[in-house]
């Protein structure tokens, strides 16, 4: 370990500080993200910290500029590897380098260029409409994974793992990632995934079929847009689900389908194309309210909650999937009431994390956090390159980079 650390330190100090230095920083970041050994990752982190002078800003800038990417002209998913096993006691995304092609199909648009960012459609079930020009398509085969055909939590982790892998291969615009599901059961799953990851998608495009059990999570829908295709025959539970989403976010819309697929393609396609062109993930708000209906934490931009009790019972997600849910949902609301103060309201929350960046607070500043009206607790916001890289390693979202994580208990 010491020899590796010494070698990396020599490499870091030997590099020039201008453009070549940025290229070396990008290479070190790429090696760090791919490294599975914690010891070797620590060696790489020390080299990155020395090259960046201990400042997270050049590291964040290198990630935003894509200096760590190796985007090829014709990226492809590899096949033949062993599919990952997801442990719901420690829910995390999994590496997909060797097996992504067995679980999904990547379709590049005509004229794909790694020099520009492309929108991404993640398709859980086809909608029967053409893919927009210049858009990357990822067709996910949920039932190809031994755990993801029944467990909604595993299906979600699989989708998020594939998303993390694809953005490393393909130049994707993280502000324009969409979930698409044309079938009823997959539509319920798409809403479930988006409501549990409300900061990762610009929008959800779903065919007839809502997720009535997800109505308690409707406040999470304030952070993305949805376009639902409703049946011309009517569906009261679907309409009630969409009404609840629209109560929290007026950007959610619906279109009525006819009984003729060919007529649907003719009538619905222009409206869907306009929605997709206009739909971009919004910037992080200064006030966030999120709900969690299961034992897995929920994250939205700079706020993450962990519920107080474990999941207790099974609940359906469509007819094909199920998830384990809490007896009572946990809710967390946080707001920057002043530049250096955050007021938090927590119900049935064991702990929560705040992720901070210079857009929220100046590094070196003191942030005061009041939980449920108690005396504010003061913490110093210090930039941490390791925290920045670990968060990015899990989410792979270059548009959402946070320089530090502060953890609080909710008493």
Taking the C-alpha atoms of residue 101 and residue 77, their distance in angstroms, rounded to an integer, is 5
Average of per-residue pLDDT values in the chain: 91
What pLDDT, on a 0 to 100 scale, did the predictor assign at position 159?
Answer: 98
What pLDDT, on a 0 to 100 scale, did the predictor assign at position 259?
Answer: 72
Q: If you write DSSP's letter for every residue of 26-49 in order, what string do you get?
A: HHHHHHHHH---HHHHHHHHHHHH
Which of 186, 163, 410, 120 has its CA nearest to residue 292?
410
Please give, one letter per residue, the 3-state secondary structure of 354-401.
Answer: EEECCCCCCCCCEEEEEECCCCCEEEECCCCHHHHHHHHHHHCCCCCC
| CA atoms 353, 359, 361, 363: torsion sign | positive
What pLDDT, on a 0 to 100 scale, did the predictor assign at position 20?
Answer: 43
The CATH number corresponding to 100-278 among 3.40.50.1820, 3.30.2270.10, 3.40.50.2300, 2.60.120.10 equals 3.40.50.1820
Residue pair 198/217 in contact by the 8 Å Cβ criterion: no
What pLDDT, on a 0 to 100 scale, did the predictor assign at position 12?
Answer: 43
Write down the domain spans for the chain.
Answer: 2-64, 100-278, 287-409
pLDDT tens-place string over residues 58-92 = 999 999 999 999 888 999 999 999 999 999 889 99
Which of 215, 390, 402, 168 has its CA nearest to residue 300?
402
pTM for this model (two decimals) = 0.92
**56-64 and 19-34 are packed helices; what angle lies between their axes, rounded to 10 degrees?**
80
What pLDDT, on a 0 to 100 scale, did the predictor assign at position 231?
Answer: 82
Residue pair 408/371 in contact by the 8 Å Cβ criterion: yes
Residue pair 155/321 in contact by the 8 Å Cβ criterion: yes
Q: Which residue has the tokens 């099974």?
A: 314
Taking the C-alpha atoms of residue 391 and residue 401, their distance in angstroms, rounded to an integer, is 8
**pLDDT tens, the chain, 411 aa long:** 444 454 444 444 444 343 444 479 999 999 999 998 999 999 999 999 999 999 999 999 999 999 999 888 999 999 999 999 999 889 999 999 999 999 999 999 999 999 999 999 999 999 888 899 999 999 999 999 999 999 999 999 999 999 999 999 999 999 999 999 999 999 999 999 999 999 999 999 998 889 999 999 999 999 999 999 998 777 899 999 999 999 999 999 999 887 776 777 778 888 999 999 999 999 999 999 999 999 899 999 999 999 987 767 899 999 999 999 998 999 999 999 888 999 999 999 999 999 999 988 888 999 999 999 999 999 999 999 999 999 999 999 999 999 999 999 987
């Amino acid at each position: 370990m010491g020899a590796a650390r010494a070698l990396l330190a020599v490499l870091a100090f030997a590099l020039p500080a201008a453009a070549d230095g940025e290229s070396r920083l990008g290479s070190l970041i790429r090696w760090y993200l791919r490294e599975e050994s914690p010891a070797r990752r620590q060696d790489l982190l020390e080299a990155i910290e020395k090259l960046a002078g201990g400042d997270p800003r050049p590291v964040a800038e290198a990630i935003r500029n894509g200096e760590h990417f190796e985007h090829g002209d014709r990226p492809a998913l590899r096949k033949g590897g062993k599919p990952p096993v997801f442990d719901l006691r420690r829910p995390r995304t999994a590496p997909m380098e060797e097996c992504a092609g067995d679980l999904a199909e990547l379709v590049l648009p005509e004229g794909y260029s790694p020099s520009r960012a492309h929108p991404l459609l993640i398709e859980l079930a086809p909608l029967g409409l053409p893919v927009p020009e210049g858009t990357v398509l990822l067709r996910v085969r949920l039932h190809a994974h031994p755990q993801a055909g029944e467990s909604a939590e595993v299906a979600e982790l699989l989708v998020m793992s594939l998303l993390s892998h694809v953005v490393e291969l393909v130049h994707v615009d993280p502000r324009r990632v969409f979930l698409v599901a044309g079938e009823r059961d997959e539509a319920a799953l798409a809403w479930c995934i988006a409501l549990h990851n409300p900061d990762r998608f610009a929008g959800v495009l779903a065919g007839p079929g809502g997720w009535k059990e997800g109505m308690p999570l409707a406040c999470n829908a304030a952070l993305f847009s949805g376009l639902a295709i409703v049946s011309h025959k009517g569906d009261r539970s679907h309409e009630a689900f969409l009404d609840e989403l629209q109560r929290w976010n007026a950007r959610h819309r619906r279109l009525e389908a006819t009984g003729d697929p060919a007529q649907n393609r003719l009538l619905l396609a222009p409206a869907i194309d306009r929605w997709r062109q206009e739909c971009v993930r919004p910037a992080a708000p200064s006030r966030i309210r999120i709900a969690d209906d299961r034992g897995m934490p929920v994250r939205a931009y700079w706020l993450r909650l962990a519920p107080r009790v474990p999941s207790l019972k099974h609940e359906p997600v469509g007819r094909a999937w199920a998830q384990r849910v809490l007896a009572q949902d946990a809710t967390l609301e946080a707001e920057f009431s002043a530049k250096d103060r955050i007021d938090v309201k927590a119900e049935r929350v064991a702990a929560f994390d705040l992720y901070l960046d210079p857009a929220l607070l100046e590094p070196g500043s003191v942030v005061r956090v009041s939980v449920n009206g108690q005396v504010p607790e003061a913490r110093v916001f210090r930039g941490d390159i390791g925290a920045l890289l670990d968060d990015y390693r899990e989410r792979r979202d270059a548009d959402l980079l946070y320089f530090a994580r502060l953890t609080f208990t909710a008493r």
